[in-house]
Structure 1
Amino acid sequence: MNTSDNSSQSAKAHRTVYSAPALEKGLDILELLSDSTEGYTLNQISKALERGVSQIFRMVVTLHRRGYIQADENDRYTLTLKTFRLAHRHSPLKQLTRAALPLLHELAQRAQQSCHLSVYEGGQIVVVAQVDSPDRWSFGLKTGSLMGLTDTSSGHVLLAYQDEAQRTRMLNNHVKVEGELSVDPGQLLSLLADVRARGCSVMPSIQTQGVTNIAFPVRGPNQKVVAAINVPYITRIDGARRPTVENVKTAQADICARLSRQLGAEEED
């Protein structure tokens, strides 16, 4: 038998002998929870994975202790944002910003306004990319800035397109930022319904006078809304002709649709 045959048999033996049952159980649990918005109880996880409760109990406890999963008041387990944060240290967030930046530059030129891209993270909205207006005056948020979840147009867009379970989870994890105003829950639900009906959020800034925030959703695979693009629109009062709010909305809708297609969203009819 030659050396290559020996190496091949050795590799096959290693794949057979050096399995990691505990790791496989942990990955099975994470993959199961990733497909659920409402989560599973311990018994439901056991049935879904066709494993005894005693086989997965310690794994669930460990994943909970390490912050990968969380339990609600009904002992239903769901994924936390830890896997999201780990993934965004590398390619997903880089891919999102790499795809978005050229389009954000185009939007800034077409709108003659600043614009930024934001995502939901840890109960708040985080600006992950930003482009200044090409005009002499520019108003925008710095990359890395935190925004309120319930009192901003970007927050409304990111909440509006989630299913009820995910939206509830986002609101339960809500952490107020400095200056964030409280919003009545009934009023918030009405605002979110309006966003879905209009396809975007257009509202006067609650933080800064003279600014109208215009936010559109960015979709990924399975049409899931993964980010929002916002234009903090400032009106010129010196007579200079600039794109109107309606002009900006048209350009913004186009940019968001193109970015969504790049991220794997299907074209809407």
Structure 2
Amino acid sequence: MSSYQNRSLTRGFDVLECIRQSQRPPRMVDIAARVGLHTATTFRLLAVLTEMGYIKRDPEDRYVLDYGLFRLADSTQRARLIRESAKPVLLRLAQELDGTIQLGELHGEDVVIHERIFANSRDRDLREAFKSSPTAAHASAIGKLLLAYRGDKQFLELYRNRSLRSFTKQTITDPLYLQKHFAYMKSKRGCCDFEEAIPGLVSHAAPVFDQEGNVACAIAVSSWTSRINRSTLPQIIPRLRRAADEIGKLLAHRPVVAVGPET
């Protein structure tokens, strides 16, 4: 064991491990007994971990792991948790909007799509189009929206004095022009891509907020201009926002790690 052991830190992790390994959410007295701590010490540790968002107390005064640990997960596990939480909502939304639904995150200058759901098997042209779809953030609705929420400072660090790659005649290639629209995107909680990545394809994205008000990811609906255009967007946008809010609530209430013991 390290000579630099910190008792409070060690005890905090012991409490988290106790909660993780319990077959059902434990109460404070259960945790104290299993970890071997005085109930007053256990109470203080639980209060700190709750305040930090790593655990929470349910209506039966039992403790479960909370969203704070979700943010610490590695990118692969985090993507899996997001995808599993969001998929039922995305499937329903694809049928409601008769479009392709995507869920993605921003990694550096690229958009990583964790889930893509097509409304029906007949959309072969859409499937083919997405195979060659660019991942550059500046050319997609999800990417532009997440860049806006990332903030001006980080955006300028990445794109200052650069010309952005053009994928269609509509692609925004001036970073400063794109930056000017960030405040508008955030005020509207959404962003459109009008044929900026793929000719004829339109997308609209909405942010998914976590319980602390930070953007965890974004979802978007995409289709050809015959289905999604300026006349149909007023009906589409409210549904997309409601779905994004629903996913945010599911993420906030999902345990980060299974409560049962490992097998």
TM-score tier (shorter)? 0.5 to 0.7
Tell me the TM-score normalised to structure 2 length: 0.58
Match of 1:217 among 207, 218, 224: 207
2: CA distance, partners of 1:158 / 1:188: 12
Q: 1:156 to 1:207 in 2, by over 3 A?
A: closer
1: CA distance, partners of 2:132 / 2:209: 21
Task: Return the offset for 1:235.
Answer: 4.1
Aligned length: 182
Q: 1:107 to 1:95 in 2, by over 3 A?
A: same
Match of 1:113 among 87, 95, 99: 99
Q: Could you tell me which runs of 5 or more consecutive residues in structure 1 were left unpaired when the two chains were aligned.
A: 1-13, 25-83, 238-242
Residue by residue over 1:234-254, the C-alpha shift from the partner in whole angstroms, topping out at 9 and shown as x without a partner, is: 2448xxxxx932222121111
Q: 1:227 to 1:145 in 2, by over 3 A?
A: farther
Match of 1:160 among 148, 154, 167: 148
RCO (CA 8 Å, sep 6+): is it higher in 1 or 2? 2
**Percent of counterpart pairs with the same letter?**
18
Residue by residue over 1:221-264, the C-alpha shift from the partner in whole angstroms, topping out at 9 and shown as x without a partner, is: 42111211111132448xxxxx9322221211110011112222
Report the equivalent of 1:198.
188
Match of 1:258 among 223, 246, 260: 246
- What amino acid sits opposite 1:254 in the alignment? R
Q: 1:95 to 1:86 in 2, by over 3 A?
A: closer
2: CA distance, partners of 1:164 / 1:207: 23
Report the equivalent of 1:89.
76
Task: Return the offset for 1:206.
Answer: 1.4
Does residue 188 (structure 1) correspond to residue 178 (structure 2)? The answer is yes
Tell me the TM-score normalised to structure 1 length: 0.57
1:97-108 aligned at under 5 Å gives the runs 97-108=83-94
Q: 1:95 to 1:177 in 2, by over 3 A?
A: farther
Is 1:127–1:142's contact at 8 Å kept on the other side of the alignment? no
Larger radius of gyration: 1
State the superposition RMSD in angstroms.
3.5
Q: 1:166 to 1:262 in 2, by over 3 A?
A: farther
- What amino acid sits opposite 1:153 in the alignment? A
- What amino acid sits opposite 2:84 in the alignment? R
Match of 1:126 among 89, 108, 112: 112
Residue by residue over 1:191-229, the C-alpha shift from the partner in whole angstroms, topping out at 9 and shown as x without a partner, is: 222212222012312132222110111112421112111
Q: Could you tell me which runs of 5 or more consecutive residues in structure 2 were left unpaired when the two chains were aligned.
A: 10-70, 254-263
